[in-house]
């Protein structure tokens, strides 16, 4: 199926929609049945039968079907947040005594959750590459978890190579694909077992939604939908599912614009004397650019730069002088955002993750690129003033 058709039309012409131009939002918390026997049968299959909002809902179902189709997966399960999806996914695959291997830099709260699991007897190890993975793997290792491009540094890994390595060692792979969206990268087709996303970013696209999803084969997604999803209670609301559906309708157009503006801004910064490096996989100078071209069909507009300074004060001065970039967390919406880990992250965590003091993360929004470039240029000039 064509991705644009999936985003805009999949499931939206079915009889249950009743011809509505926007699919209906089912607000009811429960569904009733003609007989007690029918209810009893439905409860046993609550992931696919409409019983109670915490299980599933027609509006949420449609969002899940679209996301599964985009990722080329059998099944998707939407959650009330990205961390809801990540924590439920990891929990569904491990038991006390198991070990998780983490490749490269990953989203900070994911690491925090893995630390939280230590009190239940689940350990984890971070490694920078597969060679280190061979040394760190244990008989109890069950999962290889990674992102590509990676958190903050935006390093690219060869997904097919990673999944082949994991399969040879009997590990399941879980990958966070939020950066690329299902439009620009499809990890399941390269051997990844389960893919997770924060839907709060590009998929929602308007900074008015918090949500997450896990996509993969039914044999892995359905058990966690019936257990962790139900027990953790991180259910996606029908209204948030409706926002996902609306966000998907414009996702192909928005991602093309994000890509264009992000690359223009990154190219400008790469040539500026006050910038030490730019971490954007779409730039030919990026170490992983050749791999990215092979496994990705496009680039989003989230990347980092490293200012030529070791001074937190100068980093703060640079950020505070920006006028087009708003200061805040998250990314993927219309508005351009800026953030600096040296000013917001615990020092020990920053050092452990290898993040330089001068690293600044930019989320390039949909404002005109020339206005963003001018804004950055003025802030770089005033950084040392």
Residues known to be catalytic: 54, 107, 176, 201
Per DSSP, the three-state class of 83 is helix
Could you tell me how far CA 122 lies from the centroid of its own chain?
A: 23
Burial, 66: exposed, middle or buried (Cβ in 10 Å; 0-12, 13-18, 19+)?
A: buried
Closest by CA position to 191, among listed 214, 218, 159, 148:
159
Asked if 66 and 215 touch (Cβ cutoff 8 Å), the reply is no
Separation CA 200–CA 362 (nearest Å): 17
Closest by CA position to 147, among listed 189, 188, 105, 203:
105
Asked if 320 and 365 touch (Cβ cutoff 8 Å), the reply is no
Separation CA 279–CA 228 (nearest Å): 36
> How far is residue 266 from each of residues 180, 257, 376, measured CA to CA in Å?
16, 14, 11
Separation CA 295–CA 186 (nearest Å): 8
User: Is omega for the bond preceding 149 within 30 degrees of 0, making it cis?
Assistant: yes
């Amino acid at each position: 199926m064509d991705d644009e058709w999936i985003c805009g039309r999949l499931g939206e012409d079915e009889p249950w929609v009743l011809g509505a131009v926007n699919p209906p939002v089912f607000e009811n918390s429960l569904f009733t049945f003609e007989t007690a026997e029918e209810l009893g049968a439905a409860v046993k299959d609550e992931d696919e039968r409409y019983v109670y909002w915490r299980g599933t809902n027609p509006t949420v179902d449609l969002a899940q079907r679209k996301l599964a189709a985009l990722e080329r997966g059998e099944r998707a399960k939407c959650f009330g947040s990205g961390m809801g999806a990540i924590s439920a996914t990891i929990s569904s695959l491990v038991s006390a005594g198991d070990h998780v291997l983490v490749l490269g830099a990953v989203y900070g709260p994911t690491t925090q959750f893995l630390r939280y699991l230590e009190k239940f007897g689940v350990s984890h190890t971070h490694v920078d590459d597969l060679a280190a993975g061979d040394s760190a793997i244990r008989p109890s290792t069950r999962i290889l978890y990674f992102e590509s491009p990676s958190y903050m540094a935006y390093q690219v890994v060869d997904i097919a190579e990673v999944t082949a390595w994991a399969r040879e060692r009997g590990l399941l792979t879980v990958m966070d694909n939020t950066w690329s969206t299902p439009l620009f990268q499809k990890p399941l087709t390269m051997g990844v077992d389960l893919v997770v996303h924060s839907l709060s970013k590009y998929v929602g696209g308007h900074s008015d939604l918090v949500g997450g999803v896990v996509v993969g084969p039914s044999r892995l997604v359905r058990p966690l939908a019936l257990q962790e999803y139900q027990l953790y209670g991180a259910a996606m609301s029908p209204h948030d599912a409706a926002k996902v559906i609306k966000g998907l309708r414009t996702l192909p157009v928005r991602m093309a614009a994000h890509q264009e503006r992000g690359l223009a801004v990154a190219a400008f910064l790469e040539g500026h004397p006050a910038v030490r490096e730019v971490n954007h996989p779409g730039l030919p100078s990026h170490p992983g650019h050749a791999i990215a071209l092979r496994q990705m069909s496009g680039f989003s507009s989230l990347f980092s730069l490293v200012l030529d300074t070791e001074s937190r004060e100068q980093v703060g001065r640079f950020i505070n002088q920006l006028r087009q970039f708003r200061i805040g967390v998250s990314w993927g919406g219309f508005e351009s955002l800026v953030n600096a880990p040296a000013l917001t992250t615990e020092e020990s965590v920053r050092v452990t993750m290898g993040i330089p003091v001068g690293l600044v993360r930019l989320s390039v929004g949909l404002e005109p690129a020339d206005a963003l470039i001018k804004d950055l240029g003025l802030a770089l000039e005033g950084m040392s003033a």
